[in-house]
Amino acid sequence: MSYSSVPNIEPRSPQGDFVNEPFENFSLPQTARAMESALAAVRSQLGREYDLIIGGHRIRTVGKIRSINPARPAEVVGIHQKAELEHAQLAMDAALKAFESWSRVPVAVRASLLFRAAEIIRERKFEFCAWLTFEVGKNWAESDADVGETIDFLNFYAREALRLDKATTPIQFPGERNQLRYIPLGVGAVIPPWNFPFAIMAGMTVASIVTGNTVILKPSSDSPTIAARFMEVLEEAGLPDGVVNFCPGSGATFGNAIVEHPKTRFIAFTGSKAVGLDIHEKSARTQPGQIWIKRTILEMGGKDSILVCADADIDAAADGIVASAFGFSGQKCSACSRAIIEAPVYDTLVDKIRERVAKLSVGDPATNPNMGPVINKAAYESHLDYITIGNREGRLISGGAPIENADGGYLIAPTVFADIAPDARLSQEEIFGPVLALIKVSDFAEGLAVANNTEYGLTGAIYSSDRAKLDHASRDFHVGNLYLNRKCTGAMVGAHPFGGFNMSGTDSKAGGPDYLLLFTQAKSIAEKL
């Protein structure tokens, strides 16, 4: 494939400065009607079957993956082919073949593909919001944020690729012409999570391809449909065959095969600590015929805290804690799982949190409650087990039970436990659901020590009116994303490069100026004049 043969991609320059996609206001009648119309249209498409896409070829398999609506488990969102071991080599061969030409396509052309894909998604924003509502249980605002972040990643990484293409050496050595080129790595495995199945999936994929790599995309088995719809967008935007190979499949078989393959150059993964560490270990083992050290780009979750000082705005802190803990039912790696509260305001803040949580609605996300279901039956049962643990370790303030419903949805009441010890299981283990632990501390120093007492280090927040405490936390609150006097969720592309420390991953800083470097290797070229 030569440059001239890349279909439907014309190089173009970005217009103006990067601006985050604005959020929709669903309180406006016309916006609500647009979302309701999109839900009706997408509902009519539920249950469709999707193919593997390898080198542009559509493939069907005996084994199937059925994606279900977690609010209505009897409702099938999409039926997907299940990639097996034999498909790993097919996908690798297709990606290697496409790399030969795609890696030589000018950066401006690759960036233009992303700009066009962003336009397509923006034109169909409510449709993609509806798919997220049905497949992973996001309410309207959470779906809109996911789709908006997808658009942001596409536009931001396209611009960053153009900027990186203009890189120069710090100096020109006398008597030489010096160049610094950031070239692609090769074939990458992209393994995204189910909780941001559009934004994170698309972000890792387009960061790979805009820098000239090719991809084997293995979406989560809980959210393959939105990834299939994204593949359709890429194809409409002009993506050549084999640049992205769409392969839902089992992590234990197909996933491990592509991670361990000697021709895999990098693995971009977002998910649990256990799986991330397993990928890292498997990637570190050099396979026969492998001539490089594989690169892992890992984001593995967190146990995130909001520290509230006695001098804080208590109402603002209560709002931030509840929003961070129960947005998308706590199923965010950035979610507030622990509120660490100084003793003088502890009882007051506990009451304010209880009052706010009591006002949260829980139900089918298509009707736009505050909270929808958790993702699947296994998660549902795990969260209920943690509620049982919480009843032993602390004092139940709110929730603490499943919500029975006629559709059999995986609904759990937002649950808060007070008086949890800093070393309790509820304080240390990632729950990834609607369960919040409240921890009382004597002062700021103890609170900061508790905030740092887990193996994770992803997000955190502090509420205080004391500049010295905010500055101290900025230095010593050991997380990749720290927020002062605001909630600990809602990272915005460009403004809050996202990634964490310790067992939260490799601090990859998605949406930041360094991210594309992870998908490239630097080549220095010196020519004597």
**Catalytic machinery residues:** 299, 333
Rounded to the nearest 10 degrees, how much is the dihedral formed by the CA atoms of 250, 252, 256, 257? -70
Strands (E), 288-429: 295-299, 304-308, 336-342, 395-398, 415-418
**DSSP-assigned beta bridge partners for residue 461:** 306, 483
Please list the alpha-helical segments (H only) found in 137-223. 140-164, 199-210
**In contact, 295 and 265? CB cutoff 8 Å:** yes
Phi/psi for 164 (5° steps) reads -65, -30
Q: 303 in helix, strand or coil?
A: coil
**In contact, 186 and 265? CB cutoff 8 Å:** yes
- Closest C-alpha to 12, from 86, 100, 144, 110: 110
- What is the sign, positive or negative, of the torsion defined by CA atoms of 166, 172, 177, 183? negative
**In contact, 269 and 201? CB cutoff 8 Å:** no
CA distance 145 to 149: 6
- What is the sign, positive or negative, of the torsion defined by CA atoms of 72, 77, 79, 84? negative
DSSP 301: -
* Distance (Å) of CA 263 to CA 91, 181, 214: 11, 23, 12
Longest alpha-carbon distance in the chain: 78
SS3 readout for 396-425 = EEECCCECCCCCCCCCECCEEEECCCCCCH
